[in-house]
Amino acid sequence: MTYVQQEQVYRHLVRCRPWRKKKTDGKYPEGYYPRALHKPHMLYHAHRHLDGPILYFDVDAYPVSHFEMPDCDVAVTMKNILSVAQYANTPLEEYLGFLDAGVIMLGADKKRELFLAKWAKDMQDDPSPSDQKSLNRVVGKGDYNTIKELEIGGEILKIHILHEGIYNSSFMHPDAKIVHHRVHEQ
């Protein structure tokens, strides 16, 4: 990317900062602090400026093996079952959820806009927002390697829930496609 292109991207991102306007009530569970209130808004903004599929990785996630993007509108990964169990029946369960927002794949059609708008609105309307909490509310529960159908705005979206051990692995192993170290995992 050239310096001029970087400046153009930066100018677009500076104009698109609705998360800065959000006032929270500050009522988060002890031990939790939201770190990615910008994520759905940033992805929505990227969607408006990109034609092809979007692969989003947190800064501490990276591909380690070739993989094909799944044939769906949106793909998200479940968290490791041990991580989910650790916070079950605690105040943190709602905020951390069973889906991880650190690796997200978005298809190339207009349906991704519906998904991103719903995710951003859910988070914007929440008095104590979290990207993870809103993502989990929008997608709902599911199992590894399943495709859910989600109706948003009169359209049916295919949401693929990918296996954490392959597409969002905490450590390197032969089947891993994407490793995510989750530096700030609760």
Confidence of residue 100 (pLDDT cuts 50, 70, 90): very high
Measure the CA–CA gap between 7 and 96, rounded to whole angstroms: 34
Measure the CA–CA gap between 27 and 23, rounded to whole angstroms: 11
Please indicate, yes or no, if residue 13 is contained in any of the structural domains.
no
State what percent of residues in the chain have pLDDT above 70: 83
- Give the pLDDT of residue 105: 96
Please indicate, yes or no, if residue 11 is contained in any of the structural domains.
no
- Give the pLDDT of residue 20: 44
Please indicate, yes or no, if residue 7 is contained in any of the structural domains.
no
Query: Mind listing the pLDDT tens digit for each residue in 48-87?
Result: 888 889 999 999 999 999 998 888 999 999 888 888 888 8
> Residue 6 above 60 pLDDT?
no
| Closest C-alpha among 174, 179, 176, 154 to residue 166 | 176
Please indicate, yes or no, if residue 129 is contained in any of the structural domains.
yes
Mean pLDDT of the chain: 84
Contact in structure between 69 and 53 (CB atoms under 8 Å): yes
> Residue 101 above 50 pLDDT?
yes
> Residue 147 above 70 pLDDT?
yes
Which residue type sits at 57?
Answer: F
| Domain carrying residue 45 | 37-180
Please indicate, yes or no, if residue 5 is contained in any of the structural domains.
no
Confidence of residue 116 (pLDDT cuts 50, 70, 90): very high
Please indicate, yes or no, if residue 60 is contained in any of the structural domains.
yes
Question: In terms of C-beta distances under 8 Å and separation of at least 24 residues, what long-range contacts does 138-147 make, across chains too?
Answer: 139/74, 139/76, 139/99, 141/98, 142/78, 144/78, 147/72
Domain count of the chain? 1
* pLDDT, greater one: 112 or 181: 112
